[in-house]
């Protein structure tokens, strides 16, 4: 691997950020003008949303189960086991639901986008699309961005519901808590700010997943080795950015709603 001087490395980072920003801007601008490839959009929605549903349901459900077990152990010391529902619902809706769903979808779909578009790039299919007068960004990137943002929003809601259901199952079956008390405390714990924060995060995460996956696919070089490298980079970068955005949005919501 060729080593770069700090100056050249810094320039390459700035150039990459510039290319990514331009690609993201074009992908969003295409939503408001010109031709829209609805068949591709619905195909991507099916692939991203329905295809990710099993892993999102399982992840959310068992996260809720573990949360209930751990919460009961900690709350037992204070004689507050009845507050398990409150802790499970707050944790799932505000943090774990959006973040874990984003990470699961990132691992499954950011890698898929990078490898699919990267393979098209190295096999010169994207150049052929340009030669035929088709805009690759409008055809390949915009449908993926729209589909990921929309479907991740609903997948997060499903993950939150499954996590709460998993926590309720463990609380009722293993911890012998009252089911109606669990759901009542879970419901009463949530305020508008918690729900808003939990539903803003998947919108931003979905945009990150799609644009990062497509960016690394569109900039793939070096044949099949390059495709593998782009796939790995897409997952790593999108996962890190999802966690970073989670911190920033949480800080913003605390500033706005006070919690």
Residue 128 counted as domain residue: yes
Examine residue 248 and state whether it is found in any structural domain, yes or no.
yes
Give the pLDDT confidence score for residue 76 in this predicted structure.
Answer: 81
Phi, psi of 124 (to 5 degrees): 65, 20
Is 239 a domain residue? yes
The answer to whether position 68 is within a domain reads yes
- Residue 58 pLDDT more than 90? yes
| Alpha carbons 66 and 141: distance in angstroms, whole number | 37
For 170-188, the pLDDT digits (tens) are 998 888 888 888 888 888 8
The reply to whether 126 falls in a domain is: yes
The predicted-structure confidence for 187-229, as pLDDT tens digits, reads as follows: 888 888 889 989 999 999 999 999 999 999 999 988 888 898 9
Structure tokens at 197: 């924060």
Q: For residue 27, which of 130, 140, 157, 181 has the smallest C-alpha distance?
A: 140
Q: What is the pLDDT of residue 249?
A: 92
Domain count within the chain? 1
Residue 139 within any structural domain of the chain: yes
DSSP percent split of the chain into helix, strand, coil, nearest 5: 85, 0, 15
> Which domain range does residue 161 map to?
36-257
Examine residue 201 and state whether it is found in any structural domain, yes or no.
yes
pLDDT > 80? residue 3: no
Q: What percent of the chain has pLDDT over 70?
A: 98
* Interior/surface letters 82-112, b for 16+ CB within 10 angstroms, e for the rest: bbbbbbbbbbbbbbbbbbbbbbbbbbbbbbb
Instruction: Note the pLDDT of residue 188.
Output: 87
In a domain, 81, yes or no: yes
| Residues with Cβ within 8 Å of residue 228, at least 6 apart in sequence | 115
């Amino acid at each position: 691997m060729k080593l770069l001087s700090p100056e050249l490395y810094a320039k390459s980072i700035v150039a990459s950020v510039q290319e990514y920003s331009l690609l993201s801007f074009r992908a969003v601008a295409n939503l408001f003008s010109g031709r829209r490839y609805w068949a591709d959009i619905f195909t991507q929605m099916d692939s991203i949303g329905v295809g990710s549903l099993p892993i999102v349901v399982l992840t959310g459900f068992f996260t809720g189960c573990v949360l209930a077990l751990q919460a009961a152990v900690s709350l037992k010391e204070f004689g507050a086991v009845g507050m398990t529902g409150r802790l499970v619902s707050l944790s799932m809706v505000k943090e774990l639901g959006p973040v874990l769903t984003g990470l699961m979808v990132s691992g499954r779909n950011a890698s898929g986008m990078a490898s699919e578009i990267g393979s098209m790039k190295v096999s010169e299919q994207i150049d052929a699309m340009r030669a035929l007068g088709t805009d690759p960004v409008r055809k390949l990137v915009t449908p993926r961005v729209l589909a990921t943002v929309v479907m991740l929003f609903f997948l997060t809601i499903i993950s939150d519901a499954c996590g709460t259901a998993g926590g309720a199952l463990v609380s009722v079956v293993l911890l012998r808590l009252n089911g109606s008390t669990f759901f009542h405390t879970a419901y009463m714990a949530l305020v508008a700010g918690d729900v808003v924060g939990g539903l803003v995060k998947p919108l931003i995460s979905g945009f990150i997943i799609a644009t990062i996956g497509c960016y690394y696919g569109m900039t793939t070089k070096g044949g099949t080795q390059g495709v593998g490298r782009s796939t790995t980079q897409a997952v790593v970068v999108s996962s890190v950015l999802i966690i970073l955005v989670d911190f920033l949005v949480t800080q913003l919501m605390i500033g706005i709603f006070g919690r």
